[in-house]
């Protein structure tokens, strides 16, 4: 055999370890021979996997080809180009390449060549998870090459949180640590790291330890944080650096040495950075008066209410200590009078009235010119102190919201191809629709035209051997490839336990364990597993029952009965998971004639189907529990309120009476809390698994709300699929809606709210409660949600929005002796506006105490206005017009289950 023949056999056998060892032993002539043949072999492999009807994974041969190129091509530039070819890049769902094999063949080359290669590879990294990043970092550590100036390389380095012991010994620490304060994207990647509680395996924890022991200098860390603040960026970009800065607890002298930089941050830095800068500056007692004036002018012009209030307190202290500076500071004070928050304006008026006696004619005139920016009541108080005339009382906005348009009905599910050629010619699209069509097509053509199907799938079957070394298969395309292999070459799969031993049967079940993946993910994999098992046992039915007929995933009851009749006529038995999936896809309402027809079925499956069609779907109970961890103890919010720093956990509730159908009972029997490993896979497939139980899907979604940059996340598109489904909507769906409404960009949340409102399925009461709890117990922002609710109300959902606000307020209004939380005043004010649009009435008991107070703030003024509006209409006026009528939008019927 030639050198190429041996290498080719190792590539086709996907044995990268033997391949690496063989390549390192080749002489120059052998390497040159392999290098000449590689491009042609790559072209052949590409043609095979690009043939119609093949889903074969490039990962079966991509890594051996990468190793072969790295061990045979001559120049470092050629190897770098080879390793970064798009047709050799692993797909996002595939496992990382065998880095050790690549390192082995690269380490056999000359040191200068290795340095050239690693620099070239490093400069080709585009994101922190680009293919090859692990290889690059390993080579940099082993070769000692100075890392090139390349931001994505730094992002790749910080992508894995270290421990102090690992970071202390990392050869890249000294070279790359200063760059985390300069490289773009680092702050965004580390934004979820927290300084309380401080994790030992985090960048914050590791740097805190190394800074305290002197392995990393405090100067490097403090100067790095401040320089990063000065570079700019939004709050998310700078959150990590702000937490690191405060974790270092700068001493008085360290703050004093950087005072000019902190002053420069006050006018424009994101809120958290400006807050920490102000807090440290106010510790100093030797600031230049001109610097203080400049800082206050920038600070008091900001929009953030908390910062402006802090600035007003600073200004108040300065004028108390030096009254002669009142005129100098009055322009800064006047700028606050036009602030959008009433509470801030009121605070500024108090400061102005307090120090009005220290103002000269010019200072008083400056405040008089600002009177027009104040509400009439505040303007009157200031005018009494400095003269002038307050603005007149504003009239309510004259606005009539439009009516909501009914949503478009869902379309049909695409029909199956009429022939094997059409089936094999379709491309795998990695969607639930594609998965359903391929599964149904395989079973149909295996029954009607097996030989043509075998020929069409022969190319893909050659890739099946690459799956046999894996104990578990997590992706539908793995099962399809295995099905093709079994169809073309029956009996070649040895099973996950390895080769069959005498007297022992190989286990065909490569399903992930019940705790290894989310339950909806495991349920959909069961259907592929049982088709493969039936194929091996020569027990495939003539067709599948569960293939949807509607784009939502629903199955038409009449078509379901027809399929059952066909299976009975063939003397076959339905596959268990397929049968149970079909039951879950039936709608809630079934025509009587279909129920009668189903009653004539004679098989056990037919009789059970007839009972489901007559009785309707299972009615699971759903809800949400809020828990938190304080120190190391776990509590429910209903047990006690937190007393110290805490971490919130959302625990979905899902329970249904057992049906005796194992797979359905598992799906509806609870939501395991797993979010690691493969949990959260195929989230966009889940609504089609349970299209008539959308709240159950929402419960399964809750552990996967965006919480970590490297984990699967629920997106608005997933919730939109639930909005098009059926079944009661309760606390789980409400919490999903609340999450996206309280996002900085509320547009997706508004769109989802409008869709559910137009369809008559919005759980308004549950949404109000969950929105209140979410914004009170997590970092979600009530002002964002308020803006989203106003946008939805102006687009026609004013009745629903009022119902949401009415349900939220009892949970948001402050308790005795407390001040209203951030954004509560604005929600009360919006409530008064939307209640007027909706013609609402009916007292809110929790609002009454605040409506009885003196209207001295935006909050109490809003409470007065809202309470007066709700109690001014006679109770004898008939049904509450703020509630949608029976014609499509009855909120009282929209959320019959528990609200959580």
- Name the band, by pLDDT with cuts 50, 70 and 90, for residue 885: very low
The three-class DSSP label of residue 378 is helix
Lowest mean pLDDT: which of 452-456, 642-646, 854-858? 854-858
| % of the chain at pLDDT higher than 90 | 62
Phi then psi dihedrals of residue 630, to 5 deg: -120, 120
CB 543 within 8 A of CB 569: no
Long-range pairs of 127-131 with CB within 8 A, sequence gap ≥ 24: 127/152, 127/155, 128/152, 128/155, 128/156, 128/158, 128/159, 128/185, 128/189, 129/156, 129/159, 130/156, 131/84, 131/89, 131/90, 131/97
Is pLDDT above 70 for 897? no
- Rounded to 5°, the CA angle 727-700-732 comes to 55
Is pLDDT above 80 for 55? no
Cα 374 to chain centroid distance, Å, stands at 41
Whole-number pLDDT of residue 48: 66
Average pLDDT over residues 833-851: 92
- Distance between CA atoms of 872 and 865, rounded to whole angstroms? 11
Q: What is the pLDDT of residues 570-599, one digit of tens each?
A: 999 999 999 999 999 999 999 999 999 999
Give 637's DSSP letter.
T
- Distance between CA atoms of 587 and 466, rounded to whole angstroms? 41
Whole-number pLDDT of residue 426: 76
- Distance between CA atoms of 379 and 386, rounded to whole angstroms? 10
Q: What is the pLDDT of residues 249-306, one digit of tens each?
A: 999 999 999 999 999 999 989 989 999 999 999 888 888 899 889 889 989 988 888 8
Is pLDDT above 70 for 169? yes
Cα 449 to Cα 173, 454, 547, distances in angstroms: 62, 9, 19
Lowest mean pLDDT: which of 12-21, 705-714, 782-791? 705-714
Q: What is the pLDDT of residues 317-352, one digit of tens each?
A: 999 999 999 999 999 999 999 887 777 888 999 999
Whole-number pLDDT of residue 506: 41
Q: What is the per-residue DSSP string for 24-88?
A: HT--HHHHHHHHHHHHHHHHHHHHHHHSTT----THHHHHHHHHHHHHH-SSHHHHHHHHT-GGG
Whole-number pLDDT of residue 182: 93
- Name the band, by pLDDT with cuts 50, 70 and 90, for residue 710: very low
- Average pLDDT of every residue of the chain: 88
Q: Considering only CA atoms, give the Rg of the chain.
A: 33
Q: What is the pLDDT of residues 790-803, one digit of tens each?
A: 999 999 999 999 99
- Name the band, by pLDDT with cuts 50, 70 and 90, for residue 15: confident
Q: What is the pLDDT of residues 224-252, one digit of tens each?
A: 999 999 998 888 889 999 999 999 999 99
Residue with the bigger pLDDT between 93 and 840: it is: 840
Cα 568 to Cα 439, 541, 571, 849, distances in angstroms: 20, 10, 5, 69
Whole-number pLDDT of residue 61: 81
Query: Which helix or strand (DSSP H or E) is residue 623 part of?
Result: strand 621-630
Report the candidate in 422, 398, 345 with the shortest Cα–Cα distance to residue 825.
345
Average pLDDT over residues 681-687: 94
Whole-number pLDDT of residue 43: 86
Average pLDDT over residues 519-534: 96
Q: What is the per-residue DSSP string for 214-248?
A: TSS-HHHHHHHHHHHHHH---HHHHHHHHHHHHHT
Is pLDDT above 90 for 134? no
Is pLDDT above 80 for 894? no
CB atoms within 10 A of CB 283: 11
Chain position carrying tokens 């041969």: 61
Residue with the bigger pLDDT between 108 and 51: it is: 108
Whole-number pLDDT of residue 770: 97
- Distance between CA atoms of 431 and 406, rounded to whole angstroms? 27
Indicate left, alpha or beta for 249 from its phi (over 0: left) and psi (-120 to 50: alpha).
Answer: left
- Name the band, by pLDDT with cuts 50, 70 and 90, for residue 547: very high
- Name the band, by pLDDT with cuts 50, 70 and 90, for residue 812: very high
Average pLDDT over residues 763-769: 97
Whole-number pLDDT of residue 424: 81
Residue with the bigger pLDDT between 759 and 426: it is: 759
Q: What percent of the chain is helix, strand and coil (3-state, nearest 5)? A: 60, 5, 40
Q: What is the pLDDT of residues 600-652, one digit of tens each?
A: 999 999 999 999 999 999 999 999 999 998 888 889 998 888 888 788 889 99
Q: What is the pLDDT of residues 474-520, one digit of tens each?
A: 999 999 999 999 999 999 888 875 444 444 344 478 899 888 999 99
Whole-number pLDDT of residue 610: 96
**First CA to last CA distance, the chain:** 71
Average pLDDT over residues 420-435: 84
């Amino acid at each position: 055999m030639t050198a190429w023949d041996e290498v080719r056999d190792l590539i086709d056998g996907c044995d990268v370890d033997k391949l690496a060892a063989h390549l390192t032993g080749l002489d120059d002539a052998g390497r040159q021979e392999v290098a000449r043949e590689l491009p042609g072999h790559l072209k052949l492999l590409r043609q095979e996997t690009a043939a119609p009807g093949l889903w074969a994974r490039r990962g079966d041969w991509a890594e051996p080809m990468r190793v072969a190129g790295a061990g045979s091509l001559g120049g470092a530039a050629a190897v770098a180009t080879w390793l970064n070819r798009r047709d050799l890049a692993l797909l996002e769902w595939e496992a990382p390449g065998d880095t050790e094999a690549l390192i082995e063949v690269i380490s056999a080359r000359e040191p200068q060549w290795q340095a050239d290669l690693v620099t070239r590879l490093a400069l080709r990294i585009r994101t922190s998870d680009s293919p090859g990043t692990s290889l690059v970092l390993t080579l940099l550590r082993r070769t000692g090459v100075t890392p090139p100036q390349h931001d994505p390389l730094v992002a790749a380095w910080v992508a894995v949180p270290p421990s102090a012991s690992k970071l202390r010994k990392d050869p890249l620490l000294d070279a790359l640590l200063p760059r985390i304060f300069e490289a773009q994207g680092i702050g965004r990647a580390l934004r979820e790291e927290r300084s309380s509680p401080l994790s030992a395996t985090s960048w914050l924890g590791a740097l805190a330890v190394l800074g305290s022991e002197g392995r990393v200098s405090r100067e490097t860390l403090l100067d790095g944080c401040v320089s990063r603040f000065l570079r700019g960026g939004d709050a998310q970009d700078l959150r990590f650096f702000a937490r690191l800065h405060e974790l270092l607890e700068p001493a008085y002298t360290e703050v004093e040495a950087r005072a000019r930089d902190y002053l420069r941050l006050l006018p424009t830095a994101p809120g958290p950075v400006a807050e920490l800068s102000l807090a440290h500056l106010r510790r100093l007692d030797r600031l230049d008066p001109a610097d203080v004036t400049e800082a206050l002018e920038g600070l008091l012009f900001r929009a953030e209410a908390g910062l402006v209030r802090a600035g007003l307190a600073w200004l108040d202290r300065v004028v108390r200590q030096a009254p002669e500076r009142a005129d100098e500071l009055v322009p800064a004070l006047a700028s606050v009078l036009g602030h959008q928050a009433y509470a801030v304006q009121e605070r500024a008026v108090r400061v102005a009235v307090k120090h009005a006696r220290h103002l000269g004619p010019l200072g008083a005139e400056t405040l008089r010119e600002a009177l027009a920016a104040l509400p009439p009541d505040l303007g009157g108080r200031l005018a009494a102190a400095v003269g002038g005339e307050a603005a007149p009382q504003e009239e309510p906005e004259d606005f009539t919201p439009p009516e909501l348009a009914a949503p478009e009905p869902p379309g049909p599910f695409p029909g199956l191809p009429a022939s094997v050629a059409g089936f094999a010619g379709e491309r795998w699209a990695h969607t639930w629709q594609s998965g359903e069509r391929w599964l149904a097509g395989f079973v149909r053509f295996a029954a009607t035209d097996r030989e043509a199907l075998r020929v069409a799938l022969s190319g893909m079957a050659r890739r099946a051997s690459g799956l046999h070394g894996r104990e578990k298969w997590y992706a539908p395309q793995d099962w399809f490839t295995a099905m093709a292999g079994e169809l073309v070459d029956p009996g070649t799969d040895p099973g996950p336990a390895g080769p069959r031993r005498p007297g022992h049967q190989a286990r065909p079940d490569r399903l992930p364990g019940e705790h290894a993946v989310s339950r909806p993910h495991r349920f959909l994999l069961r259907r592929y597993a049982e088709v493969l098992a039936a194929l091996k046992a020569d027990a495939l039915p003539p067709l599948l029952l569960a293939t949807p007929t509607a784009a939502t995933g629903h199955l038409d009851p009449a078509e379901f009965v027809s399929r059952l009749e066909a299976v009975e006529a063939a003397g076959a038995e339905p596959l268990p998971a397929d049968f149970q999936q079909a039951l879950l896809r039936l709608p809630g309402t079934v025509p009587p004639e279909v129920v009668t027809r189903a009653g004539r079925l004679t098989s056990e499956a037919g009789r059970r189907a007839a009972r489901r069609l007559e009785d309707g779907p299972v009615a699971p109970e759903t809800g949400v529990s809020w828990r938190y961890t304080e120190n190391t103890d776990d509590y429910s919010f209903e047990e006690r309120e937190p007393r110290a720093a805490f971490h919130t956990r959302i625990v979905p509730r899902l329970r249904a009476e057992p049906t005796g159908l194992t797979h359905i009972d598992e799906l509806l029997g609870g939501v395991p809390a797993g979010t690691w490993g493969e949990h959260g896979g195929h989230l966009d497939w889940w609504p089609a698994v349970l299209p008539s139980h959308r709240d159950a899907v929402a419960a399964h979604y809750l552990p996967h709300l965006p919480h970590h940059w490297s984990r699967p996340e629920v997106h608005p598109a997933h919730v939109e699929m639930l909005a098009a489904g059926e079944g009661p909507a309760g606390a789980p769906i409400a919490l999903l809606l609340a999450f996206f409404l309280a996002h900085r960009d509320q547009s997706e949340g508004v769109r989802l709210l409008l869709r559910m409102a137009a369809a008559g399925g919005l759980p308004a009461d549950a949404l109000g409660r969950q929105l209140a709890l979410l914004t009170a117990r997590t970092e979600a922002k009530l002002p964002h949600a308020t803006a989203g609710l106003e946008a939805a109300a102006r687009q026609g959902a004013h009745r629903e929005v009022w119902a949401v606000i009415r349900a939220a307020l009892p949970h948001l209004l402050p308790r005795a002796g407390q001040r209203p939380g951030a954004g509560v005043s604005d929600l009360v004010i919006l409530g008064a506006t939307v209640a007027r649009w909706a013609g609402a009435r009916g007292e809110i008991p929790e609002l009454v105490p605040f409506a009885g107070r003196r209207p001295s703030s935006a909050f109490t003024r809003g409470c007065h206005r809202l309470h007066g509006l709700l109690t001014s209409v006679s109770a004898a006026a008939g049904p509450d017009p703020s509630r949608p009528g029976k014609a499509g939008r009855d909120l009282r019927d929209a959320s019959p289950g528990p609200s959580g």
